[in-house]
Amino acid sequence: MKALIKVGYGCNDHCSFCHTLHVRHVDGSAAEVHAKIRRAKELGHTMVVLSGGEPTIRPELFEWAAHVAELGMDFGLVTNGRLLAYEDAVERLLASRLRYVYLSLHGGTAKVHDLMVRSRAFEETYGALANLTGKGLDLSVNCVVTKHNAAHLRGLVDAVLPYPDALVKLSMVEPKGGGDALFRNLMPRVSDIAEKVADAIRYGDAKVAEAGAAGPRFVHGALPLCLMPGLEDRFDDLKTHRFRTMIEVGEPDFFPVDDLNKVQPEASCAGCALRGPCPGLYRGYHEVFGAEELPTDRRGAGPRSNSFHWVFERRWEAPEDPAHCPLRDGALGVTPWDRGRDLFVRHGGKLGLYRAETRDFSDLELAEVKHARGQAYVDATRGKAAPNDFARDLVKLERAAVCAGCPHEHRCAGLFEPRFEDVFTRDDARVRALLGAVEGDVLDLGCGEGPYADVLGPRAEAGALRYVGVDPDAAAIERLRARWPWASLEVAGGEDLSPLGERRFDHVFVLRSWNHLRDPEATLRQVRERLRPGGWLTVVDNVAFGLARTPAQAERAERGPAVFEHHRNDGAAEAAAALEAAGFAIVERMDVGPTTSNQWLLRASVGPTAPGRQA
């Protein structure tokens, strides 16, 4: 758990793409950095990483490192590495628990690297690698790729091959500072860089395999994953390096690391299963070049997760006073905590901190699940691998009353408290009421394990309805055939209902299977054709949710057999838009929110309604 402290922006290199070009004259005082080191410890970090500018040009470097070690934390550097060409500098820092080095090397030769950094620096930076390797460090070599070195990436790979413990990262240049000021001169097209980076990674992999070596490992940064087919798992960013917070010079407290300088354009990225880890495009890049290099539709690219967990980390005493906020009114503060990833739960005089490290969801998605949709629960299961009865196994969490009206309410990670009410059974009552009143020909699309058999079965046996269930899972259909003599069951996916012949229906139900559909638009076309005039379509499904778990629960869940089955995590709004686009008229809508379960509902009609057939 790393904290990144920017100590100042002065540097002994002058990279053309320097992020901090406009503030190179700004340096933090030694005392400010010492105070931030103490604050990092107070917040529970286990490592402090100094960055800049260039932290190694500061005369206080060794004092800062010693201070970090004295507080029982590990020490790290984001650096151009030039000072680390001195062996004794490395030795002294190792004695102060230097464990992590993120070193910038932008070319495999002096000619390329020195032109990138506009200094005679290669021998020192490259020499530092020899001093750092084999020391048990977490050692990364970062190469920023611009127009100028894009053709020389294999040369960089060749240069780092002797260092098997290095992680070599090839990163798209960011349009910030120098990268923005010299945009036209520096900025390559992202698709071109993706191609060259992929080539360099594959070249490096082959060289490593050829040598039978353990490394280096090659990864990429700031490149959309759809442009790196086959190398998606090689993405690398601050979070993969376990940076949790950072602080700039002059800032009063730490802030969580975030991806807000990047954008995932909806036109390309909507429905993509890889939105969680994907960096998308830099905003500045997107403003100039748009998203024309990205595939236009990533829907159906693969299944994705519909849940995640926050794992318990720490606990404090917390007064029961409902007007007291332990974040705002205490030493924890408001700003260091990630709005989506950090979850504070107060209960019984205790305050617990849970943390979500998942990359299945982006930061924005996590914050939406937690706050806008309010889908945070405590996993109260005992003695089984995962919850399978939400009403019994999950306890809903809601924002504490003290959050209402707080000036930090919409920025803060929030304070949550358990609400001991079975919201699942309560919200499902409407679905059961609809099913209990339905008459005529009924199609259940994606009937799966048949969660509503106790409602539908008696009505079918009484002749009130004629039930047809379809599901693409042949085994599930076989099991239902044995249990449901009153049902007609077919193996079929929602996109192709041809096994049903010419049958038409008065009601179609899509119960908790909307987000399993590969192609909802195609399914809606099929449904529309099979609904009689005045017929009804009812869609019920769940949005994504998060569970607060103990480390043991989280480990059990991650080792469990569950696989991704969802192609999206639509809520009522997204599904309603699709239904309306397909010609349905929405007549009833239940949205998910902070006081509801994660289940939403839509009822829609096609053509003139027939009151006699309404449920």
Binding site for another protein (CB under 8 A): 10-14, 16, 21-26, 29-32, 34-35, 38, 56-63, 66, 82-83, 85-86, 88-89, 92, 110, 114-115, 118-120, 124, 178, 181-182
SS3 481: helix
Burial of 260 (C-beta count, 10 Å sphere; 0-12/13-18/19+) = exposed
- 147 vs 189, which CB is nearer to another protein? 147
DSSP H or E segment with residue 184 = helix 183-186
Burial of 62 (C-beta count, 10 Å sphere; 0-12/13-18/19+) = middle
Name the minimum Å distance from CB 366 to another protein.
Answer: 33
In whole angstroms, how far apart are CA 140 and each of 99, 101, 215, 218, 232? 11, 6, 12, 10, 19
- 23 vs 225, which CB is nearer to another protein? 23
- 31 vs 260, which CB is nearer to another protein? 31
Specify the long-range contacts of residues 209-216, CB closer than 8 Å, at least 24 apart.
Answer: 211/161, 213/161, 213/164, 214/164, 214/165, 215/163, 215/164, 215/165, 215/166, 215/167, 216/141, 216/160, 216/161, 216/163, 216/164, 216/165, 216/166, 216/167, 216/168
Name the minimum Å distance from CB 61 to another protein.
Answer: 8
Cis peptide before 53 (omega within 30 of 0): yes
Name the minimum Å distance from CB 42 to another protein.
Answer: 9
Beta bridge partners of 507: 442, 536
- 23 vs 144, which CB is nearer to another protein? 23
- 13 vs 363, which CB is nearer to another protein? 13
Contact partners, residue 202, CB within 8 Å, separation at least 6: none
Name the minimum Å distance from CB 180 to another protein.
Answer: 9
Token code pair at residue 253: 């407290």
- 42 vs 365, which CB is nearer to another protein? 42
- 176 vs 530, which CB is nearer to another protein? 176
Name the minimum Å distance from CB 296 to another protein.
Answer: 37
- 38 vs 479, which CB is nearer to another protein? 38
Pick the closest to residue 582 from 527, 542, 540 (CA basis).
527
SS3 569: coil
Name the minimum Å distance from CB 121 to another protein.
Answer: 8
Contact partners, residue 328, CB within 8 Å, separation at least 6: 334, 406, 408, 412
**3-state helix, strand and coil shares in percent for the chain, rounded to the nearest 5:** 35, 25, 40
Report the alpha-carbon distance of residue 412 to residue 407 in Å, rounded. Answer: 9
Name the minimum Å distance from CB 28 to another protein.
Answer: 12
Name the minimum Å distance from CB 214 to another protein.
Answer: 31
- 187 vs 497, which CB is nearer to another protein? 187
Residue type, 226: C
Name the minimum Å distance from CB 56 to another protein.
Answer: 6
By residue count, the chain amounts to 615
- 111 vs 410, which CB is nearer to another protein? 111
Name the minimum Å distance from CB 176 to another protein.
Answer: 12
Report the alpha-carbon distance of residue 534 to residue 508 in Å, rounded. Answer: 12
Beta bridge partners of 102: 78, 140
